Amino acid sequence: MKARPLTLRSDRAFFIQILQFGGVPEKGGTIMSSAHTNSLPQTFLDEHEAVAQKIDELKRFWHQVDELGMGPKYEEMAARIHEFRTEMEQHFAHEESQTELFGALARNASTSGEVDSLRTQHANLLNQLDEFCSRLKQCEGVYHCWQEVRTDFDHFLNELHEHEDSEIILFHKIADQGH
């Protein structure tokens, strides 16, 4: 899958479209699935929208630092990523504790293997956020490092988007099956 560039376009709008219609927009804006959000718990939907908002905030900050020529803000960006990491850890823990979602995945023969895969993905995503914080702290004062970390962080956000997108679609599938 081609990486989405770090832009100011609203990733929140993209997530809302996925949440509302249960699918990732294809080229031309059509939706791959017609499932609706009323089949998923509202807290699940709210949390995924909050994740999208936080991603937008991180992208906006990074873009503003670059566009305004304020120079790299290693310490502040590391603090923002650390805060995001804490929020994602809570988000993942809450998801995994949702028996109507994760439990349904585990009980369904066609998706039971997905539970371990999602938990592994969650742990890997959190580890990557830890690595970004460490890298930013080590990069203090080295300008080219800012661009390298930004590029890698952009790839990470794409990976996170793909994870969240596939998770929403998987949970829609389970919800539509009536557990």
Cα–Cα nearest to 122, from 167, 79, 154, 153:
167
Cα–Cα nearest to 179, from 72, 91, 69, 105:
105
**Does residue 76 belong to any structural domain of this protein?**
yes
**Does residue 120 belong to any structural domain of this protein?**
yes
Per-residue pLDDT of the chain (179 residues; tens, 9 = 90+): 444 443 333 444 444 444 444 444 443 343 333 344 455 678 778 888 889 899 989 988 888 887 877 777 888 889 999 999 999 999 999 888 877 777 777 787 777 778 788 889 999 999 999 999 999 888 877 777 888 888 899 999 989 988 988 888 887 777 776 64
Query: Which pLDDT score, from 0 to 100, does residue 176 have?
Result: 72
Total number of domains constituting the chain:
1
Domain that holds residue 50: 11-176
Neighbouring CB atoms inside 10 A of 127's CB total: 10
**Does residue 4 belong to any structural domain of this protein?**
no
**Does residue 2 belong to any structural domain of this protein?**
no
Look up tokens 């970390």; give the residue.
Answer: 149
DSSP string, 56-87: HHHHHHHHHHHHTT----HHHHHHHHHHHHHH
Distance between CA atoms of residues 73 and 78, nearest Å: 8
3-state helix, strand, coil in the chain (%, to 5): 75, 0, 25
Q: Which two tokens stand for residue 49?
A: 């929208």
**Does residue 31 belong to any structural domain of this protein?**
yes
**Does residue 97 belong to any structural domain of this protein?**
yes
Query: Which pLDDT score, from 0 to 100, does residue 86 have?
Result: 96
The residue type at 144: H
**Does residue 3 belong to any structural domain of this protein?**
no
**Does residue 126 belong to any structural domain of this protein?**
yes
Query: Which pLDDT score, from 0 to 100, does residue 47 have?
Result: 85
